[in-house]
C-alpha cells in the first residue's frame, strides 16, 4: 500500500509538468482563463504583473473552495498575477488548468 501511494504522488506531479512545461504556456492559459472569467474577448488589455513557479500541495492549486475535497498530491505549476484596468487578479495554474483565485488560503475574499 505504501509503495502504491508513493507511486501515485510521483505520477501526479509528473502529469502537471507534462501539461504545463514553461511559464509562457502558463501565462497564455492564465490570460485565456481570466478573459473568460471577466467575459472579455480582448486579451490584449490583460497585462502580466508577475509569474512564479509553485508546487501546489493539492489539486485545489492553492485556491480551495469550501466543502470541496481535493487530491493530496503535489501539482507543479505557476502563480500568475495579471492586471486589467489597474486591478490585479491572481491566477493559479497547474496540471493543464487555471483558476482565477478570488479567495486566499484563509478564505478571505480578495475582491
The pLDDT of 89-107, averaged and rounded, is 83
Report the residue count for the chain. 111
Percent of the chain with pLDDT strictly greater than 70: 73
Per-residue pLDDT of 22-56, as tens digits, reads 999 999 999 999 999 999 877 789 999 999 999 99
User: How far apart (Å, rounded) are the C-alpha atoms in residues 66 and 37?
Assistant: 20
* Domain definitions of the chain by residue range: 2-100
Torsion sign across C-alpha atoms 111, 68, 36, 74? positive
Amino acid at each position: 500500500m505504501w509503495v502504491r501511494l508513493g507511486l501515485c504522488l510521483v505520477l501526479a506531479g509528473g502529469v502537471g509538468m507534462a501539461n504545463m512545461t514553461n511559464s509562457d504556456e502558463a501565462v497564455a492559459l492564465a490570460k485565456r482563463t481570466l478573459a473568460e472569467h471577466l467575459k472579455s474577448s480582448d486579451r490584449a488589455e490583460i497585462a502580466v504583473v508577475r509569474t512564479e513557479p509553485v508546487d501546489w500541495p493539492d489539486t485545489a492549486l492553492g485556491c480551495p473552495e469550501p466543502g470541496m475535497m481535493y487530491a493530496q498530491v503535489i501539482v507543479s505549476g505557476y502563480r500568475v498575477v495579471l492586471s486589467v484596468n489597474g486591478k490585479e487578479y491572481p491566477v493559479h495554474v497547474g496540471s493543464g488548468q487555471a483558476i482565477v483565485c478570488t479567495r486566499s488560503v484563509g478564505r478571505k475574499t480578495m475582491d
